[in-house]
Amino acid sequence: MTPFDTRGLKRRRFKDKIFTSIVWGLTFSCLLVVFIILFYIFKKGIGSINWALFTQGPKPVGELGGGISNAIVGSLMVVVVAALFAIPMGVSVGIYLADNRGKKWAERVAIAVDVLQGIPSIVIGIVIYIWIVKPVGSFSSLSGSVALAIMMLPPIIKNTEETLVLIPNTLKEASLGLGASYFKTTMKILLPTGIGGIFGGCIIGIARITGEVAPLLFTAFGNPAMVKSIFKPVDTVPKVIFAYASSPYDDWRRIAWGGSLILVVFIILLNAIIKLFERKWKVQF
Amino acid sequence: MKNRWRILENKIFVRWLSISAILTMVLLLMFFLTLLVSSWPAIKANGFSFLWSKNWDPVNSHFGMLPFLIGTLITSFLALLISAPFSIAAALFLGEFYPKGVIPNIFRNVIDLLAAIPSVVYGFWGLYTIAPLISHLQQKMHLQASGLGIFTASIVLSIMLIPYSVSLIRQVISMTPTPLKEAAYALGSTRREVITKVIIPSNISGISAGFLLSLGRALGETMAVTILIGNAPELPHSIFSPSYTMASVIANEFTEAVDEIHTGSLIEIGLLLFVVTTIINLIGRLIIKRAIA
């Protein structure tokens, strides 16, 4: 008998190897899924990308061709207005949370922000329908923007807070010591220093809402015409994809694939911008 | 004069910050109250049997949400179950095996790309890739082959959950105290033993919270599921049957509902979703914060 019984050790090593390969295998299948999905969307969508997709509105049933120009304009309109609502509000709450860390009310607000982030988007749609669409009596792009603005708030608030907390107190104290007011210190010192992170939060928010349909179903609704007023119902790109996805017409599905590709490329670009900002503008001291 | 303005300006600013923060909390409260008030007529009319009646019949004004409740629960838990091994493996890979470096960084960004694809695009993609596969499978099993149903929705939903649960669990795992791991290695443990006997047991609450938060997300997921689940308001016979979820019945019927009780019943479902996801998020965040703080 050998002084060491190596059989147990071998078995444990073998188990370890199996375990490691399972982890590798599962991780790689995650990556594979990403590529399969993106490749499929790209393959299906690239054939539908043409000039008409961007410049024409939808054609009546039965006619071939047409595009989603009205939905692209609609999406931009809804998202930009939502951002106009959400950014000032979100940054304010973020500043509040960063300056009152550890206080009871700040903790409560932080929890509220977390809960807000977890609310299903369809529920936000219902509430905004009750708040705005029902009293006014018509669907509108504005109500869709309000719903999306609420969805945008949590990432903006969190990024603003996390960025501002990283800025050293000495910077703030120097400004206050020179006689600048709290308002001036925040506006001229803290926000410009943390602009990278705050901007990143805004982009994350925009990326989160650009592909949303659920909160828009009962608010922005849909409209085949080109709309230039925020008080009218409006089509958005994801809404058109939803409407066309299970349609029996090949041509509509073709347009939906084109729309999907545009949407995915746009959101991936936004994500790339976020990563770039994180690297270049991160608060470092 | 100028000084006075500066003081006033500062006062307004400080006040506005507090107001904006309070508004966020009020917003949440208003959500709850709005849903409660708007669904009150339906809550009164439907009574408690709303929860367990399996008959959803808007024409005869009888409303029971059991089919949606069951559909939502099965779809979400199945999706969680399918995604769990992948999420844990990827989280271990990125949080423990290779926490730093260029390649894992790329991996992380690639997995994050899954979060960049909109829900409706997932649904559309699933309709043309997963649904035909499932339909093929159903044919082999001599079932009615529509390809749409709980299983199809769960598969696509599980992919959508991966980036979310991976990032949560990775954070938890990477917070394991190094001395704890080193002690285990020093005793001669293999990496598998360190992971299964130290890292996972010591982080079990954080990992569960990660899955809980993913579940909260799955429960409220609307568009992809609406496209793929088959929209049949009846109790499912098997995981291949078409079904219906709470979120998708709201999406499909809300704008078409005409009478007050029908709309109210849909809002009541929304209220239930709101309450459940709020509770899940509160518990989940609480545990996660304790785990990574």
DSSP letters, A69-93, are HHHHHHHHHHHHHHHHHHHHHHHHH
Provide the pLDDT for residue A130: 94
B21-47 pLDDT per residue, tens = 999 999 999 999 999 999 999 999 888
In chain B, whose CA is at the least distance from the CA of A94? B21
Domain positions in chain A are: 9-36, 64-281
B95 touches chain A (CB under 8 A): no
pLDDT at residue B293 above 80? no
What angle do the packed helices B260-292 and B2-46 form, to 10 degrees?
Answer: 120
Closest Cα in chain B, distance from residue A67 (Å): 18
In angstroms, rounded to a whole number, what is the distance separating the alpha carbons of residues A244 and A247? Answer: 5
Contact B222, A124 (CB under 8 A): no
In chain B, whose CA is at the least distance from the CA of A21? B89
In DSSP notation, B198-253 reads: IIHHHTHHHHHHHHHHHHHHHHH--HHHHHHS----S--SSTTS----HHHHHHHH
Closest Cα in chain B, distance from residue A114 (Å): 7
Q: Which of A4, A43, A117, A123 to mutate to test the interface with B (most CBs of B within 10 A)?
A: A123
Percent of chain A with pLDDT over 70: 96
Provide the pLDDT for residue A228: 82
User: Is B26 part of a structural domain of the chain?
Assistant: no
Q: What is the ipTM of this complex?
A: 0.91
User: Is B20 part of a structural domain of the chain?
Assistant: no
Among A44, A126, A210, beta carbon nearest to B270? A126
Burial label, B187 (beta-carbon count in 10 A; 0-12, 13-18, 19+) = exposed
The amino acid at B65: M
Q: Which residues of B touch A213 (CB under 8 A)?
A: 118-120, 222-223
Percent of chain A with pLDDT over 90: 63
Provide the pLDDT for residue A1: 47
Q: Do A112 and B24 touch (CB under 8 A)?
A: yes
Instruction: Name B79's Cβ contacts closer than 8 Å, sequence gap at least 6.
Output: B153, B154, B155, B157, B158, B160, B161, B218
User: Is B9 part of a structural domain of the chain?
Assistant: no
pLDDT at residue A43 above 70? yes
B98 touches chain A (CB under 8 A): no
In angstroms, rounded to a whole number, what is the distance separating the alpha carbons of residues B91 and B163? Answer: 10
Contact A260, A241 (CB under 8 A): yes
Beta strand spans in chain A (E): none
User: Is B19 part of a structural domain of the chain?
Assistant: no
DSSP three-state, residue A66: strand
Q: What are the backbone dihedrals phi and psi of residue A236, each rounded to the nearest 5 degrees, phi first?
A: -125, 160
Residue of B76, B65, B31 lying closest to B221 (CA atoms): B76
Contact B187, B164 (CB under 8 A): no
The superfamily in CATH containing domain A64-281 is: MetI-like (1.10.3720.10)
B189-241 pLDDT per residue, tens = 999 999 999 999 999 999 999 999 999 999 999 999 999 998 888 888 888 88
Contact B150, B240 (CB under 8 A): yes
In angstroms, rounded to a whole number, what is the distance separating the alpha carbons of residues B211 and B87? Answer: 9
Q: Which residues of A touch B109 (CB under 8 A)?
A: 275
User: Is B29 part of a structural domain of the chain?
Assistant: no
B156-179 pLDDT per residue, tens = 999 999 999 999 999 999 889 999
In DSSP notation, B50-90 reads: GTT----BTTTTB---HHHHHHHHHHHHHHHHHHHHHHHHH
Among A23, A115, A116, beta carbon nearest to B89? A23
Among A92, A105, A207, beta carbon nearest to B16? A92
DSSP three-state, residue A58: strand
171-200 in B: which are within 8 Å (CB) of A? 190-193, 195-196
The CATH code of the domain that includes B165 is 1.10.3720.10
Q: Do B17 and A37 touch (CB under 8 A)?
A: no
CB atoms under 10 Å from CB of A248, counted, come to 6
CB pairs under 8 A between A and B: 245
Domain that holds residue B242: 49-292
Closest Cα in chain A, distance from residue B57 (Å): 21
What token pair was written down for B121? 């695009």
Among B25, B125, B227, beta carbon nearest to A109? B25
Give the count of domains, chain B.
Answer: 1
User: Is B201 part of a structural domain of the chain?
Assistant: yes
Q: Do B273 and A120 touch (CB under 8 A)?
A: yes
